Amino acid sequence: MQFVIGTGDALILPHFTPPQNASTMLYRRLGRTDIQVSAISLGTMTWGEQNTEQEAHDQLDLAIANGVTLIDTAEMYPVPPKAETQGLTERYLGSWLAKPGNRNLVIVATKAAGPVRQAHQPKHLRGGTTHLDRANLVSALDASLKRLQTDHVDLYQLHWPDRSTNTFGRLGYPWIEDAHTIPIEETLAVLADLIAAGKVRAIGVSNETPWGLSRFLASSDARGLPRIASIQNPYSLLNRTYEIGLAEFAHRDQVGLLAYSPLAFGVLSGKYRGGARPPGSRLALYERFARYSNPQALRASERYVALAAERGLDPSHLALAYALAKPFTTSVIIGATTLAQLRINLASIDVRLDETLIAAIEAIHADQPSPAP
């Protein structure tokens, strides 16, 4: 197996012996840091809800064997967030990291939950007062480190903004004057101290807007504070809103995208065609995951799945390869509940879409642009 950084240089991973017949992984720089991450990352939000600890470990072993180095988690996982399961995902990752040699194999990314602004956001974390201030960030990180059984995380992300925004599928700016928010400069100052303490290597944002990201970068420049290295936002064939106001940041300021929901909760895999709800699937288990299953999104996904079939491609490969090829993408976060699903998703690293296929994708997008924002 050949492991390639974006520059074409070879990457040596400590204590790592790649197996035969595995995919060719690519590696890309995380922002302006010296951290290289795999172009495919392993998402973990089902661990502790749909996946057991052993299944989580099996997923990690398979992902690592195929060159994945970036593992993404969060303090509020698993999803749907519940008080009785909160933190299990980090605990499952932590018990794997505690095995001899494993911590050296991966880049660990986790997230601190923001304040409760919308009904779906968890109210059970730290009494529901999860603002991005010193007390909350220090408490959140220390608890995450304990669950992860490590003394540092490589990437610490703010799960969502400390202000009301049009994120998580909300259309239109809400024009809400929040009773209390933490200034971005204050949050950055706390993160600077966590980096200085050796608990964090790099920082990122998630579910952020162009205004928010620009303020983070301007505050860093003006005050000599740590710089945002990445942004974790949704991006898929059904949701390309990232391209409008955020994609340019990767070009101008080297803040790359960690794309979540690249398969739109599995809708783009084709498994929900014709109204199907396979037993154990997220749309069968949880009503809250309707964001990607509205009528417009289902019509568009049917066309993308049919296009993949016409070209002899697995529909998951079509969707993932499209996201992977974008110049603003640092890494695509894949999640799976079975090893079979994970193998399919990992194999997308070897798929290249030709110009005619990309043109066909763009034609569908022009007809039905971002039906599931």
CB atoms within 10 A of CB 344: 18
> In whole angstroms, what is the distance from residue 234 CA to residue 107 CA?
21
Single-letter residue type at 134: R
Helices (H), the chain: 53-65, 88-97, 134-148, 184-196, 210-223, 242-245, 247-253, 282-285, 295-310, 315-324, 339-346, 355-367
> In whole angstroms, what is the distance from residue 193 CA to residue 174 CA?
33
- Write down the catalytic residue from 27, 77, 92, 260: 77
Query: Using omega within 30 degrees of 0 as the cis cutoff, is the peptide bond preceding 371 cis?
Result: no
- DSSP helix/strand/coil, 174: coil
> In whole angstroms, what is the distance from residue 115 CA to residue 94 CA?
25
First to last CA, the chain: 37
**Do 36 and 27 contact (CB within 8 A), yes or no?**
yes
Look up 292 and say whether it is catalytic.
no
Catalytic residues: 77
